[in-house]
Structure 1
């Protein structure tokens, strides 16, 4: 006698498995599923059963990387470690190809996920990873490596004799211990910019979010602007309130700007610049900045300075700190030939006011350790993966 074997459906619905008469003694003869029949040969078996499944893209290594108009071409970018990966079934992380019920469970899970899964113990070290890429356009790039994480709730099924409501005794697969599972798909790596249109639930989209890109609205604006020229900063105009303080050859936009984090805090010029919530920023000069531009330099970029209304002084790195990761951003008398105060302001999402701000001297980016009030501005080599180095330049 022969009956069809059960398949593990994508809906994770319960299904009865069929029984096949063994060709020889003491061999397992049924496919495990909750409520499916089993026989004496299955009494020593235990089978994993997924109750839920969630597939989520995860970034494992990341770096924000600026490419100026004069530096396109092939670069080797060293990404920093983001998250450790482990494979776990029923809270067990020591999974091998030997005597272990995790392997058959993950093999069946792979059919449901529709892509290859890691089936044995794996961990990701904290070492950096390097990606070599041809950057043929200037812009702000997310350089990433990632995988799809597959996780959920599960049971261990065991063959057991139970009594039904009608009084019959049957031997069938029953749910026993409950737990969780986690495994991973294949590694993906590449680069992506805010302007790029990517699938919503992809590793590329997560990389955009890590970069600090603004959501669907900014992507729609980027798509609409692709046929036109990129939005350029307004031409410098003389007569700004800060004109007397800025370096020779620099001209300032009229009026003032706010520099806001992506969660709405304002950059405040206090003893040391920091981000803070402000209910009425127009009442206080500490939140107002003048943007002044110089002539294009050897990189082809137009340098800028940010001048505080309160102090009539320029934002920049403190002396001796230009090559120090995490060094505090400060302000001081505007330099006649800007060195520490010379900035590149990147506008990489057409149609939006999102900017990245780079210290031109050593290439460090303005950022904070976290998007929280009172956190001081600092420089970091490649920006922050949580988007804390992306700002909005908003006319006051």
Structure 2
């Protein structure tokens, strides 16, 4: 069968949006020129940030004249913070590390850029009490949250290829270095500081703050109530795929091969469900496993969104839900459903070229391969393959 370069969705893209000032340390800027090799890559762009002092452990403690000096106090868990970017709680890929590094650079803070979380168990804090009084012993940090988008290479209405903000967005959570300390009601502390947050848990206007107590723990109503509602709390991963339902696909009539530019290997779906999509050379024995249709196609600001249906096995390309957060997870075909794990953004070269980059809608990762070889899996990579091994050719057959 004769082949022709894909001519899908050639309508002009809308006018470019007005861009915000670039983030500190950003490697590429919106509107900069990119090349066809960049179609399968992406970079983060930070859209919002919020910094909130947060107490992770706390205990109200009364010190009498005869009990000053060094003491070890067992504090209780107040809040647990887990580092996350989008669906990838493990921060396995370059995109997540780059995003968190940009957040730290923008704010001038030393934030965690690897997956970690604050302690989920009670801990002892040692402190040298110089004066008698009502103290709050605490461990705390600054919780940093916000949203991000991604910069992708795509055709521009002004001509050529440009870095543009793609439809992929998500949220992140991280935190700064942990701080331990002790604070009294009468202490003058900086506003919006970790120490001020701990001082607020002392209920300084309550009778417990001024009454005389034996040396030792003092029940703080506010801290205890907070502990009951937030102890052991972790940051939930948002964007769950939700219940899976059977999809009624509206597929375009054109059939495509998705291949490596200038080379004979193409995406081929597996016969066995447990296997993944691999690079294979097409022949009359391919049994249409190398033939794909674009279904339920939408276009937003020049970026296509589609389900990839395989003619050979009748399944839809997808990332397994259990592997959604895994860097390098293999692309598979599964029963078609209304599920963002089966939806893909397609970034295109200039009109007349069939070069494309492909991104999973749910995970945000770009598709690519480790090496060019027969039988090599197509996999997801958070930032794509920077060597161009994520740029494919969509060719009509």
TM-score by length of structure 1 reads 0.48
Q: Which has the larger radius of gyration?
A: 1
TM-score by length of structure 2 reads 0.48
Greater RCO (CA < 8 Å, at least 6 residues apart)? 2
